[in-house]
Amino acid sequence: MRFRLLRVAVPTAVVALTLATTSGVAHAATSHQVVYHADGNWAGEVWFNAGTHNMAKGRNSFTVKDTFCGDGWKVGVHYEIPALNIYRTFMLNGDCSGESSFSVVSYDVAPSAIHWWGLKTSTTENLTTYESQVNDYVD
């Protein structure tokens, strides 16, 4: 009887632990988003490196990359850190601008939520499109 209870209890505990550790926002980990064209092709990518996750790119840093050179769109990111009163947008210089990384908070801060959206802006029209919100933390 003990063995039967143990077989049920262990898988249940593993499932509960897995759910507890994989739900919610990323904590001190890299979050990533693809910026899409309407036809599903990639226009670019945006990565966020929380805290000291990737110091080669800087503390609490974004990397923005244009992955579709010649499409007439420049890629960027809009980010908000309400606790620090930071609300900014960064755009690559134009279509075919490659990749750029920058730090949004280069000093040690108490863990604070950051909300961000990958985006693209037409180089010929007054048009900007945003991807879904991504949530992470600066620290």
Which DSSP string do the residues of 74-123 spell out, in sequence order? EEEEEEEEGGGTEEEEEE-SSTT--EEEEES--S----EEEEEEEEEEES
Per-residue pLDDT, 135: 97
**Quick one: pLDDT at residue 7?**
45
Give dist(CA 95, CA 133) in Å, integer: 23
The pLDDT, as a whole number, for residue 23 is 37
Indicate the CATH number of 26-138 among 2.60.40.10, 3.90.1150.10, 3.50.50.60, 1.25.40.10.
2.60.40.10
Specify the pLDDT at position 34.
97
User: Tell me, what's the pLDDT at 56?
Assistant: 80
pLDDT at 53: 79
Q: What is the pLDDT of residue 28?
A: 38
Closest C-alpha among 69, 34, 58 to residue 107? 58
pLDDT at 2: 46
Q: Are the C-beta atoms of 77 and 45 separated by less than 8 Å?
A: no
* CB half-sphere exposure, 5, CA atoms < 13 A: 2
Domain map (residue ranges) of the chain = 26-138
In order along its 139 residues, the chain shows pLDDT tens digits of 444 444 444 444 443 433 333 333 433 347 999 999 999 999 999 999 988 877 888 889 999 999 999 999 999 999 999 999 999 999 999 999 999 999 999 888 999 999 999 999 999 999 999 999 999 999 9
Q: What is the pLDDT of residue 18?
A: 37
